[in-house]
Amino acid sequence: MSLTVTCNAWTGNGKTDGEIADPAEWSLRRNIEAAPRLLAPRTVDLRNWQDPSVGWGVVIAEGTKIPAPLQELITTRKAPVFRYKSDWAFQYVLLRNADAGKDIDINAAPRGTAPDALPYYLLIYGSPKEVPWRLQYVLNANRCVGRLHLTGEKLTNYLSALASGDWGRSASPVNSNHALVWAVNHGSGDITELMRDGIAAPLAKELSEDNQIGAGMRFIDGSNDTADQASLIAALGTDRPGLIVTTSHGMTGPLGQDDAMRTNLGLPVDSAGQMVKPRELLDGWKPCGAIWYSHACCSAGSDDSSSFTELLTPASKAGQVIAAVAGLGAQVAPLPTELLGAKQPLRAFIGHVEPTFDWTLQQPATGQLLTSSIIDALYGRMYVAKGDIERPIGEAFRDWYGRTNGLRSMYEKALRGFNHGEATDDLLLALQLAARDVESTVILGDPTVAMPALE
């Protein structure tokens, strides 16, 4: 019996699914990243990145000059700088602290800013061509990691807002008590329906039932409303929400036109099949320190190779999309680039480098939704009441990345069963897909930014 998965990529012509080429072969070949246990005991408040035993630092490619505004922030925060070296065997094992003259083990180093330590919060500076996505995946296993790839005026805009803490809110106030959830739903078994039911609707329910957010939560539900670009822009301009969550397909077309694909990569596709364009968003709304979570294919960017290349039959539509996106090379998507680099920039953007498949959102054997840790990160962990310590976005997503521990344990048990003749092929496949979904979720922006406390 053949197996088929559906992903949230969009080329402008129907849903994107693919037949699994060989579930056991692909699942057995790929190792799931473990989230190693931290050496230091959790005796400090990990929300406090200024504590030297917690710490904040910068990761940058060897030989890359640190831009002046970033150097100013490093100096102000008295932060260590770690160099990524691409031309040695330990590129995903060690980072070089040049000032300390030491190579630091990514998985085993204690937390903090001491010469032999690795800070709990790390800002990668550079494009994924300079510092690969894979390093971010590896670091996410036990650190709170963000990436900033901006240059020139865009970089200055973001770092000035980060340093001042204003984000343009004094001129155009954003209300942390307001949230916007925008969910496209094409129905008829399309994956947008599953994303709406598994992420958008339960999150909207949590937000609307909160005593302080309540009526400040707006849900543009594609099941009943028109979830198009116009409705999104109108709601952003009217509500000025502190949190924006969108679920939709991400544009990965037109296939065969690489320049257009790069320009459109990962843009949310609305209910009419039209792309949500950054310039049109910014004409009617200013981010001013909001946080945006986009659950869409390639919403954060693309890589020059995909974990799923050998999973799908090459002739299937999903297989063709995976190959075409990988052919674009490693890049950050245009939507976060424009929003993080705006005059009054976004604080952080959370998205995916790979597509999300239906099997990663819902347990195929039982139908159980597998999205609770996303909802908890975006509501239960990110929001705090006034007077409490704000939780950095990197720390809010720790439980999401920590899922790899459980997935790895279940995978090893299923693998033992497979080696003893048990029919665990589908389970191995589902666990691999879920692990890749966790892995390719990335934070763009500084990992220490936080949602302001609720009024």
- Residues 421-437: tens digit of each pLDDT: 999 888 888 888 888 88
Which residues are bridge partners to 349 per DSSP?
292, 444
Check if the beta carbon of residue 279 is closer than 8 Å to that of residue 334.
no
Measure the CA–CA gap between 124 and 324, rounded to whole angstroms: 27
- Statement to judge: residues 273 and 400 lie in one domain: yes
- Please report which confidence band the pLDDT of residue 11 belongs to, taking 50, 70 and 90 as the band edges: confident
- Domain membership of residue 352 (yes or no) is yes
Measure the CA–CA gap between 438 and 394, rounded to whole angstroms: 14
- Domain membership of residue 305 (yes or no) is yes
Can you read off the two tokens belonging to residue 165?
A: 């803490």
- Statement to judge: residues 121 and 198 lie in one domain: no
- Domain membership of residue 79 (yes or no) is yes
Look at residue 1 in the predicted model and tell me its pLDDT: 61
- Statement to judge: residues 358 and 388 lie in one domain: yes
Domain stop point among 164, 195, 219 = 164
- Domain membership of residue 338 (yes or no) is yes
Domain stop point among 129, 164, 199 = 164
Check if the beta carbon of residue 27 is closer than 8 Å to that of residue 33.
no
- Domain membership of residue 241 (yes or no) is yes
Question: How big is the chain by its Cα radius of gyration, in Å?
Answer: 21
Residue whose C-alpha is closest to residue 10's, from 264, 229, 242: 264
Residues in CB range of 224: below 8 A, 6 or more apart: none
For 308-361, what is each residue's pLDDT tens digit?
888 889 999 999 999 999 999 999 999 999 999 999 999 999 999 988 888 889
Rounded to an integer, the average pLDDT of 230-257 is 97
- Statement to judge: residues 399 and 250 lie in one domain: yes
- Domain membership of residue 169 (yes or no) is no
Check if the beta carbon of residue 141 is closer than 8 Å to that of residue 34.
yes
- Please report which confidence band the pLDDT of residue 217 belongs to, taking 50, 70 and 90 as the band edges: very high
- Domain membership of residue 43 (yes or no) is no
- Statement to judge: residues 128 and 244 lie in one domain: no
Rounded to an integer, the average pLDDT of 403-412 is 81
- Statement to judge: residues 333 and 386 lie in one domain: yes
Rounded to an integer, the average pLDDT of 148-165 is 97
- Statement to judge: residues 193 and 294 lie in one domain: yes
- Statement to judge: residues 115 and 203 lie in one domain: no
Q: Is the pLDDT at 40 greater than 80, yes or no? A: no
Rounded to an integer, the average pLDDT of 14-26 is 78
Domain stop point among 106, 136, 164 = 164
- Domain membership of residue 264 (yes or no) is yes
Give the residue numbers spanning the domain of 431.
4-34+174-444
- Statement to judge: residues 365 and 242 lie in one domain: yes
